[in-house]
Chain A
């Protein structure tokens, strides 16, 4: 346990140093995740002219929640893993007595630590621009949000890492993620909250893993009604499924690995 804690600490500290090495890049990545703010403007406008299930203030808060959920759950492991396979750099990771997944998890975790202060600045700007939408969630809500968003990150990471395993065979696994992203974009609640979907589509979406990456944590944060029990069960179920597939593909992939260029 002591060794695990030490590895976690060293990986986090070193990858944090790596993440803050290029400050401008970090700010640009935060800004690149501001799509929810653009969509917020559109939906607030629409809500003033028609019935869409949420009030303009609820829309504003929802998309702020979606922005934060995105900041917490951004994952890029598939591009990193693919590059390491293609360049043969995975070999160095495989030569060490530590599963490479911990390196990727630590770099994501550290990036989160480096990115969040900038994200909170954007939240401040948001409240300055839309003072009517200002609210302070209760401590209980915040704690639940933190728990669910951590779970959402793990699910999102497992989903993408599972697809990344195909890099052992195709070396262009990121194309799978691009295709997958289409479903993510539509079903996660990033473009529109699930409340505006037709009931049948909403019901279908709630059995997929996607709404639990954005809509579910965002709704918890801003106080929209959610089925917490079902949500956590679906997240747990999908996490178990992706974890199982990832481990199976990992074992198969290692037998297939050729250590290109190394």
Chain B
């Protein structure tokens, strides 16, 4: 049985529309105009237990709305959804014990008290015995390198430490399904790496299912073999990361070291020029070449220009995903 299963999941909601200026304000006061937003439209997918899946999309694409439906916070307008064998919006106790949601921009810990106080509440709420609680806190503290931090007021922790403490609070009941919405948001590179490593360890150690949204592609490439891409409420891709590159960016990056400097106008005649770096002697140029024309273009470049070195690579995943999200091209 899949850990997460969504079929034709849709969410519509009305929002008020107000024109700017005094007249708009007056009209808005006496008569509200509403517009229906199709936040998520007929989204279907399945995630097997233990999978780590990246959920990608631009701001407002419908990622968070989908996560809210999967966690039972909001009711879908249409479609069916099952998570860990439960219908989320029924919010049964068994379901709530099996899931967790971490939001990078929100916090559940009590700001003015040490994280340990919030953890004790969570332990009582989830019915975790004292011994299990101590063990779980000790294991997670070690995995997150949070030794000595849980007794300090949350407001005194650094952003990275706070996020780790949030993760600890969200995982204290040993959930089977983790929904992570931008868990590394605003963290510095070191903290991002450490959160990422923790999530990988956690998944491997406990076999938890993870659905992760992030704007940091490093999170996705480090943790996810599979990605879902949503654009304007519609699912436009569900498959492997490598497949995403093949489907949306059938291009190769050709990096050439040239023995002399050529004007960019001339270089652009061969293919899209991504970057040019002039050196004391010669220059380094990065071309983006369509895969179909790769042989022909490289042969022409080699015959026309004085090439010292050449490398052909796949374009960076950030570039591919950026293109997908900008174009919104559906499958």
> Residues of A at under 8 Å CB distance from B?
3, 6-7, 9-11, 13-14, 17-18, 21-22, 88-89, 91-92, 94-98, 254-255, 257-259, 261-262
User: For the complex, is B249 an interface residue (Cβ under 8 Å from A)?
Assistant: no
**Contact (Cβ within 8 A) B124 A10:** yes
> Residues of B at under 8 Å CB distance from A?
13, 64, 68, 71-75, 91, 93, 96-97, 99-101, 103, 105-106, 108, 110, 112-113, 117-118, 120-127
- In the docked arrangement, what's the CA distance between A14 and B105, Å? 24
Closest to B111 in A: A18
**Contact (Cβ within 8 A) A95 B101:** yes
Q: Which residues of A contact B93 (CB under 8 A)?
A: 97
**Contact (Cβ within 8 A) B74 A259:** yes
Within the complex, the shortest CB–CB distance from A25 to chain B, in Å, comes to 11
Q: Which of A88, A89, A97, A258 contacts B125 (CB 8 A)?
A: A97
- In the docked arrangement, what's the CA distance between A94 and B73, Å? 7
- In the docked arrangement, what's the CA distance between A10 and B13, Å? 38
- In the docked arrangement, what's the CA distance between A17 and B151, Å? 13
Knowing that A13-B120, A89-B108 are A-B contacts, what are 11 other residue pairs whose CB atoms are under 8 Å apart, sorted by A's residue number?
A: A3-B127, A7-B124, A14-B121, A94-B91, A95-B99, A97-B93, A97-B96, A98-B125, A257-B73, A258-B74, A261-B106
Closest to B71 in A: A95
Q: Which residues of A contact B117 (CB under 8 A)?
A: 14, 17-18
Give 12 CB contacts A-B under 8 Å. A3-B127, A14-B110, A18-B113, A18-B117, A94-B91, A95-B72, A97-B125, A258-B74, A259-B73, A259-B74, A261-B106, A262-B106
**Contact (Cβ within 8 A) A91 B125:** no
**Contact (Cβ within 8 A) B100 A6:** no
Q: Which residues of B contact A18 (CB under 8 A)?
A: 110, 112-113, 117
Q: Which residues of B contact A258 (CB under 8 A)?
A: 13, 74
Within the complex, the shortest CB–CB distance from B86 to chain A, in Å, comes to 12
Q: Which residues of A contact B125 (CB under 8 A)?
A: 7, 96-98
Q: Which residues of B contact A98 (CB under 8 A)?
A: 125
- In the docked arrangement, what's the CA distance between A21 and B117, Å? 13
Q: Which of B73, B97, B99 contacts A91 (CB 8 A)?
A: B73
Which label, helix, strand, loop or mixed, suits the secondary structure of the B interface?
A: mixed
Closest to B95 in A: A97
**Contact (Cβ within 8 A) B75 A255:** yes
Q: Which residues of A contact B110 (CB under 8 A)?
A: 14, 18
- In the docked arrangement, what's the CA distance between A17 and B110, Å? 11
Closest to A4 in B: B124
Q: Which residues of A contact B126 (CB under 8 A)?
A: 96-97
3 residue pairs, one from A and one from B, having the closest CB atoms: A92-B108, A10-B124, A97-B96
- In the docked arrangement, what's the CA distance between A77 and B279, Å? 67
- In the docked arrangement, what's the CA distance between A259 and B105, Å? 13
Closest to A6 in B: B124
Q: Which of A13, A14, A21, A89 contacts B106 (CB 8 A)?
A: A89
Q: Assess A11 versus B124: contact at CB under 8 Å? Given A18-B110, A257-B73, A262-B106.
A: yes
- In the docked arrangement, what's the CA distance between A254 and B75, Å? 8
**Contact (Cβ within 8 A) B74 A11:** no
**Contact (Cβ within 8 A) A95 B100:** yes
**Contact (Cβ within 8 A) A91 B106:** yes
Centre residue among A3, A89, A95, A98 by max chain B CB count within 10 A = A95
- In the docked arrangement, what's the CA distance between A179 and B72, Å? 34
- In the docked arrangement, what's the CA distance between A261 and B74, Å? 13
Within the complex, the shortest CB–CB distance from A17 to chain B, in Å, comes to 6
Within the complex, the shortest CB–CB distance from A132 to chain B, in Å, comes to 44
**Contact (Cβ within 8 A) B120 A10:** yes
Q: Which residues of A contact B120 (CB under 8 A)?
A: 10, 13-14
Q: Which residues of A contact B106 (CB under 8 A)?
A: 88-89, 91-92, 261-262
Within the complex, the shortest CB–CB distance from A262 to chain B, in Å, comes to 5
- In the docked arrangement, what's the CA distance between A96 and B103, Å? 15
Q: Which of B73, B74, B113, B123 contacts A21 (CB 8 A)?
A: B113
**Contact (Cβ within 8 A) A257 B74:** yes
**Contact (Cβ within 8 A) A259 B91:** no
**Contact (Cβ within 8 A) B113 A96:** no
Closest to B153 in A: A21
- In the docked arrangement, what's the CA distance between A22 and B106, Å? 23
- In the docked arrangement, what's the CA distance between A13 and B120, Å? 10
- In the docked arrangement, what's the CA distance between A17 and B113, Å? 8
Within the complex, the shortest CB–CB distance from A24 to chain B, in Å, comes to 14
Q: Which residues of A contact B91 (CB under 8 A)?
A: 94, 254
Closest to B103 in A: A262
Q: Which residues of B contact A10 (CB under 8 A)?
A: 120-121, 123-124
**Contact (Cβ within 8 A) B113 A14:** yes
Within the complex, the shortest CB–CB distance from B146 to chain A, in Å, comes to 19
Within the complex, the shortest CB–CB distance from A80 to chain B, in Å, comes to 13
- In the docked arrangement, what's the CA distance between A98 and B123, Å? 12
Centre residue among B74, B101, B124 by max chain A CB count within 10 A = B124
